[in-house]
Amino acid sequence: MIEFKNVSKTFAGQQAVSHLDLHVKTGAFSVLIGTSGSGKSTTLKMINRLVEHDDGAIYFAGEDIRQLPVLELRRRMGYAIQSIGLFPHWTVAQNIATVLQLQKWSRGQRDARVDELMALLGLDVSLRDRFPHQLSGGQQQRVGVARALAADPEVLLMDEPFGALDPVTRSALQQEMVRIHRLLGRTIVLVTHDIDEALQLADHLVLMDKGKVVQQGTPLTLLTAPHNDFVREFFGRSELGVRLLSLRQVKGYLRREPVYEGEPLRAEMTLREALSAFVAQQCEILPVHDDSGQLCGSLHFRDLLRVEASGEASA
Ligand SMILES: Nc1ncnc2c1ncn2[C@@H]1O[C@H](COP(=O)(O)OP(=O)(O)OP(=O)(O)O)[C@@H](O)[C@H]1O
């Protein structure tokens, strides 16, 4: 879907991105992570030509992006950023419909699309006519994402979209993004410097340092088969255990025999969340419920200790 071939970018003689090769697959949730100044934002902005690359080539759906008119390229890509950039004197509905208005959708079509997107992002209809300053940070961020999705772009580019949010709102929005990605199957490229966010969202993780890709692959590969010490240190040796737990779900470790005592876990939870539940409830076995709230088995605390740093088991 998006391919970088030997791409470089220099700002005032300083190399921001250097000989970058990258392949973003259609439908993948790709996350760029790395140290500050490693070139993540520059890489993202080169995709929609907010920053023009100096050398190499970038292809979008098989076409060199330099051969495509900039406006057409941007129309095919939604863009959401940390500072959101909502128009302060426009209502929520007008902000979401910005691109639709530019594309001359009729009033009725715009209204219907705004309703659909507000529902998708969990925004109550009562917020439709509010102005951005009358919204919480999390609601503003949701409006920003809804606006980026409005014209049903082929790709959604997100630059630290949840950076300014408190941990609870941030976590809620991360879960929303996972749900929306599953639902719409859109290609997403997201930049973050938050390791746990990256591990939760990515199916393709790209670790950058000094303008280069150090390693890319699934989160599990980067955690369990790091190419070098930089990768190992980046993900933190001491936190490797909990991070691995965050990549695995309760359903992969279910035991059949049911138990009835304790606040049930959900099969879709990560083992990291289950660990917190064991600690909070001070017990060693908990019942597990499926999507429909039916008891489907139990999870044993000691099975969490078997999550190894090497195997691919049920990740
Ligand atoms: N418009 C610009 N003009 C000059 N230098 C720039 C510009 N944009 C980025 N840079 C420089 O390019 C390098 C890479 O910046 P970039 O923003 O891509 O890094 P990043 O990995 O996204 O960093 P962070 O996580 O801190 O946001 C940095 O050294 C930065 O100072």
Query: Taking 50 as the threshold, does the pLDDT of residue 14 lie above it?
Result: yes
CA 95–ligand 1 middle distance (angstroms): 28
Looking at residues 83-92, what average pLDDT do you find?
86
> 243-257: b or e for each residue (b if 16 or more CB lie within 10 Å)?
bbbbbbbbbebbeee
- The verdict on 227 and 288 lying in the same domain is no
Domain that holds residue 266: 249-305
314 in a structural domain: no
Same domain, 235 and 255: no
pLDDT band at 238 (very low <50, low <70, confident <90, very high): low
- Kindly state the average pLDDT of the residues 43-58: 96
**Domain check: are 105 and 211 in the same one?**
yes
Is 260 found in the same domain as 132?
A: no
- Asked if the model's pLDDT at residue 80 lies above 70, the reply is yes
Q: Is the pLDDT of residue 165 over 80?
A: no
Q: Which of 239, 269, 295 is the last residue of a domain?
A: 239
194 and 123 in a single domain? The answer is: yes
Q: What is the CATH number of the domain that holds 85?
A: 3.40.50.300
27: helix, strand or coil? coil
Mutate to test the pocket of ligand 1, among 7, 41, 50 (most ligand atoms within 8 A of CB): 41
Q: Which atom of ligand 1 is nearest to the CA of 42?
A: 18
Across residues 139-156, what is the average pLDDT? 89
110 and 67 in one domain? yes
Q: Percent of the chain scored above 70 by pLDDT?
A: 96
Domain end position, chosen among 210, 239, 268 = 239
How many structural domains comprise the chain? 2
Do 111 and 134 lie in a common domain? Answer: yes
Q: Based on the domain organization, do 286 and 228 belong to the same domain?
A: no
Asked, for residue 219, whether it belongs to a domain, the answer is yes
CATH number at residue 278: 3.90.1280.20
Verify that 105 and 157 share a domain, yes or no. Answer: yes
Task: Find the 174 Cα to ligand 1 centroid distance in Å.
Answer: 24
Question: Ligand 1: which atom is nearest the Cα of residue 45?
Answer: 18
- Residue 208, domain member (yes or no): yes
Residues 184 and 266 in one domain: no
Residues 35 and 153 in one domain: yes
- Same structural domain for residues 105 and 186? yes
pTM of the model: 0.82
- What Cα–Cα distance (Å) separates residue 51 from each residue in 58, 98, 110, 211? 12, 22, 30, 15
Ligand 1 atom with minimal separation from the 32 CA: 21
**C-alpha pair distances (Å), 243 with each of 84, 169, 200, 265:** 29, 20, 9, 19
Rounded to the nearest whole angstrom, what is the distance from the C-alpha of residue 113 to the centroid of ligand 1?
A: 35
pLDDT at 312 over 60: no
Whether the pLDDT of residue 282 is over 90: the answer is no
Instruction: Give which of 224, 268, 311, 241 is closest to 299, Cα–Cα.
Output: 268
pLDDT, one tens digit per residue, over 183-234 is 888 899 999 988 888 988 998 999 999 999 999 998 888 888 889 999 988 9
pLDDT of residue 129: 95
Residue 100 lies in a domain: yes
Mean pLDDT for 275-291 is: 89
Given 207, 239, 271, the domain boundary residue is: 239
